[in-house]
Amino acid sequence: FNSFILPCLYTINAEFTPKTNINAYIICNWLHAPNKDATIYICDKIVPRTNIKFYIVGKHPPKEIVSRASEKIIICGAEYRLNTFLSNMSMCLAPTLYGAGINGKIGEALAYGIPVVTTTLGALPYKLVHKESVMIGDDEDSYVNCVNDLLTKNGLKEKLSSNGKIIMTKFTSDYYRESFLNFI
């Protein structure tokens, strides 16, 4: 018997262009432990070594996250005007330190056109390539270098934004509508 798997679906944001401001974000469901651990990793290991202002989005953040709020780390809680919020972001930080499956925050950022810094594990489900569709850093130093490269290398944000949108066209309802009809 044949089967058809329908993954997360995204909408490509054709209008978004990468921002030159120095900020980054993560969106989390706090019931998923890897999200909390990744956010703590960013707050403790990455933000202090960069010039970014880091925005944390997610309903009811746990005290371990809230306690890290500072001038450089902003706790947003639930963000109900997500398109407005995302349109002002220059990058998404989404280190997948452990776990498995498709990381929705990475797919959402790529479809929107926001450059992503992740780990090899985060890049696997979408078959993303370092410096082509995302920046990949698997340890503290390489992750910080990826963030700093996005802030300083001319044309890198634009390249990742464009290539990320192209990759995510395989995760749109139009693509799967066509695939499903061909399957039938």
End-to-end distance of the chain based on CA atoms, in angstroms? Answer: 13
Q: In sequence order, what E strands does the chain have?
A: 23-27, 53-57, 73-77, 92-94, 116-118, 135-136
**What pLDDT score was predicted for residue 45?**
98
Rounded CA gap, 174 and 9, in Å? 9
Rounded CA gap, 38 and 55, in Å? 13
Does 181 have pLDDT greater than 70? no
Tokens at residue 84, please? 């407005």
Does 4 have pLDDT greater than 90? no
Tokens at residue 17, please? 């262009």
For residue 173, which phi and psi values (nearest 5 degrees)? -65, -35
What pLDDT band is residue 110 in, cutting at 50, 70 and 90? Answer: very high
Does 40 have pLDDT greater than 60? yes
Does 117 have pLDDT greater than 80? yes
Higher pLDDT, 182 or 99: 99
Task: Compute CA 129 distance to the chain's CA centroid, rounded to the nearest angstrom.
Answer: 14
Higher pLDDT, 78 or 50: 50
**What pLDDT score was predicted for residue 80?**
77
**What pLDDT score was predicted for residue 13?**
93
- DSSP three-state, residue 38: helix
Does 113 have pLDDT greater than 80? yes
pLDDT of 156-179, one tens digit each? 999 999 999 999 998 888 776 666
The per-residue b/e assignment along 2-34, b for 16 or more CB within 10 angstroms, e otherwise, is eeeeeeeebebbeebebbeeebbbbbbeeeeeb
Tokens at residue 98, please? 């452990």
**What pLDDT score was predicted for residue 171?**
83
Does 58 have pLDDT greater than 70? yes
Contacts of 93 (CB under 8 A, 6+ apart): 24, 25, 26, 42, 46, 54, 116, 117, 147
Contact yes or no for 25/84 (Cβ under 8 A): no
- DSSP three-state, residue 78: coil
